[in-house]
Amino acid sequence: MDPKEPTILKDVLKKKGAKFGFWHKRLCKLTTNHLLIYKNENENDLDKVIEIVPTTVIECLNGEKPPRFVLHIAKQRPLTLYNDSPDVIASWVNEIRNITLQTPNMSMENFNIISVLGRGFYGKVMLVQKKGTNEFYAVKTVHKNRLVKAEKVHTIFTERNVLMKARHPFIVNLCFAFQNETKVYLGLEYAAGGELFYHLSNRGSFPIDEVRLYIAELALAINYLHVQRVIYRDLKPENVLLDQQGHVKLTDFGLSKTLSDFSNSTGTFCGTSEYIAPEIIARRPYGPEIDWWALGVLTYELLYGKTPFYNENKAKMFQSIRSDRPRFPRKADKDTISFISMLLEKDPSTRATFDQIKVHPFFKDLNFEDVLAKKYKPEFVPPDSTGIAGNFDTEFTMENPMDSLATPTPGDQNAFDGFSYIAGANELSESYSEGDEEDQPSILNPTEM
């Protein structure tokens, strides 16, 4: 680093030890591109130098006492720092986020818009091609003013942060993120096979051998998130994409929740009604077990074309979710009934875990390590739609493909500081690398959350 880099901040913070979690007093100095950590206040015993780059993720642990934040740096252990003053922590979070904004300029002017792929309240997803290349992306556009009015700014940061850290064959890759005065943009890997919901709507249901592979791949993705201390919270066919070979890609992390070091549960009522777990309806604190419940609902829907507790009356459906056992068609085999039933246990403490899922007879003839390595070829391969949107609903693809005008955001734009991001080439590798054994719990044999 350049010794002439000006100092932006300098404070005494406490750093969490990597091995035993003890807190150590350190002098921390933030320059225009680096964080320097000294073992004493004389600045003569340098402990660590961290370069702040666009891929650096800063996570503010709101509500923790004392106030703290976590720096996530590629191929390094997360770094947790605290200070008794919330104002000091806020200053550090804001300044580090501002440094991460130093990315090459990017805008929608860099892309040709090909088609609309989907739409929601906060914005839409479009298929784009980077000008002068053969690179295709799914760009998610989100209106800032709608996020601000709904007090949901944190959700777009959560989605970006989870995807920046997630590198898994069955989770969609985040390639870049940028913003303008009215919108934020997430540039995602384009999964040309379309939504699982689209294919389910066209086919009605799937053969059991196809479902087995889909559910095994999703179980690996969900377990990976849990190892990273993330609850997904929104599993449904609309949020499962297929790549061109027919493998799944989990997407849409706007409802995801990152658990802090000191909490294994959360309490927000959220999710899609037919997939909500009993403990959420009961408004009890809940944990990652809700994702396994949703996997059970999804398995049932893919096999039988409907969710197990559906009722047009939402109150009756919620009552059914809390009290009824799922009813199975007569043709259902005992392994399928057993598998779905153990995922749809009302009591989260007795609900199936990943260790139980991967050895269940439902997955006979499937080895999960081979599933992770994509050694099994999906029976259903979507029609080739590279560069076109052939596997998405015409309700959206028939729209005029354009980046629409948006209402300016009221008030301060600082809420979106630090959003922009461009992934390095090594971050977009298809394969998952466990790295240092001490840093990365095994995604096949996770530690407890």
For the domain that residue 220 is a member of, what is the CATH number? 1.10.510.10
Catalytic residues: 234
- Confidence at residue 276, expressed as pLDDT on a 0 to 100 scale: 95
Query: Is residue 433 in some structural domain?
Result: no
63-78 average pLDDT score: 84
Nearest to 381 by CA among 391, 371, 394: 391
- In eight-state DSSP terms, residue 44 is -
Listed in sequence order, the residues at least 6 apart from 178 whose beta carbon sits closer than 8 Å to its beta carbon are: 103, 106, 107, 184, 185, 187, 419, 420, 421
- Do 255 and 293 have their domain in common? yes
Most confident of 135-149, 194-208, 386-400: 194-208
* Rounded-to-integer distance, Cα 162 and Cα 176, Å: 13
pLDDT in tens, 171-198: 999 988 888 888 999 999 999 999 999 9
Going by C-alpha positions, the residue among 437, 374, 429, 44 that lies closest to residue 216 is 374
Backbone angles phi, psi at 265, to 5 degrees: -145, 165
Buried b (16+ CB within 10 A) or exposed e, 127-149: bbbbeeeeebbbbbbbbbbbbbe
Number of domains in the chain: 3
Same domain, 285 and 310: yes
> How far, CA to CA in Å, does 21 sit from each of 13, 59, 258, 429?
15, 18, 19, 32
Residue 85 near residue 11 (C-beta atoms within 8 A): no
The answer to whether residue 439 is domain-embedded is no
What is the C-alpha end-to-end distance of the chain, expressed in Å?
Answer: 37
d(CA 111, CA 356): 45
More confident residue, 122 or 202: 202
Q: Which residues are annotated as a binding site for ATP?
A: 140
Residue 2, in any domain of the structure: no
Check whether residue 143 and residue 231 sit in a common domain. no
Last residue of a domain, one of 100, 131, 166: 100
Both 211 and 133 in a single domain? no
pLDDT band, residue 213 (cuts 50/70/90): very high
Q: Does residue 259 fall inside a structural domain?
A: yes
Verify that 313 and 233 share a domain, yes or no.
Answer: yes
Model pTM score:
0.74
pLDDT for res 410: 64
Of 99, 251, 179, 101, which is closest to residue 403 (Cα–Cα)? 179
Average of per-residue pLDDT across 150-170: 89
Residues 332-372 pLDDT 10s? 999 999 999 999 999 999 999 999 999 999 999 899 999 99
Q: 443 lies in a domain?
A: no
- Is there a single domain that holds both residue 61 and residue 123? no
290 part of a folded domain: yes
Amino acid sitting at position 129: Q
Mean pLDDT of 51-75: 81
Domain residue limits at 70: 7-100
Query: Can you tell me the distance from the alpha carbon of 385 to that of 427, in angstroms, rounded to the nearest whole number?
Result: 25
With 90 as the cut, is the pLDDT of residue 26 above it? yes
Predicted local confidence at residue 168, as pLDDT? 94
Helix (H, G, I), strand (E, B) or coil at 187: strand
Is 166 in the same domain as 222? no
Residues 351 and 261 in one domain: yes
Q: How many helices (H) and strands (E) does the chain have?
A: 12, 18
Residue 146 belongs to some domain of the structure: yes
Share of the chain above pLDDT 70, in %: 87
Q: What is the pLDDT of residue 36?
A: 96
Q: Are residues 353 and 420 in the same domain?
A: no
Look up the CATH number of the domain holding residue 124: 3.30.200.20
Question: Per the domain annotation, does 447 fall within a domain?
Answer: no
Query: What is the CA angle 190-153-10, rounded to 5?
Result: 105
Residue numbers belonging to the annotated binding site: 140
Please identify, among 75, 100, 125, the residue that sits at the C-terminal boundary of a domain. Answer: 100
> 84: which DSSP letter?
S
151 vs 296: CA distance, rounded Å: 32
CATH code: domain of residue 85: 2.30.29.30
Q: What is the pLDDT of residue 449?
A: 45
Cβ burial of 382 (10 Å; 0-12, 13-18, 19+) is: buried
- Structure confidence at residue 433 as a pLDDT band (50, 70, 90): very low
Confidence of residue 93 (pLDDT cuts 50, 70, 90): confident
**Domain end (from 69, 100, 131):** 100
Q: Do 52 and 175 share a domain, yes or no?
A: no
CB atoms inside a 10 Å sphere around CB 392: 23
Which residues are CB-neighbours of 104 under 8 A, at least 6 positions away? 422
The answer, yes or no, to whether residue 262 has pLDDT greater than 70, is no
Do 234 and 341 fall into the same domain?
yes
pLDDT digits over 312-331, tens only?
999 999 999 999 999 999 99
Predicted confidence band of residue 266 (pLDDT cuts 50, 70, 90) = low
- Same domain for 94 and 117, yes or no, is no
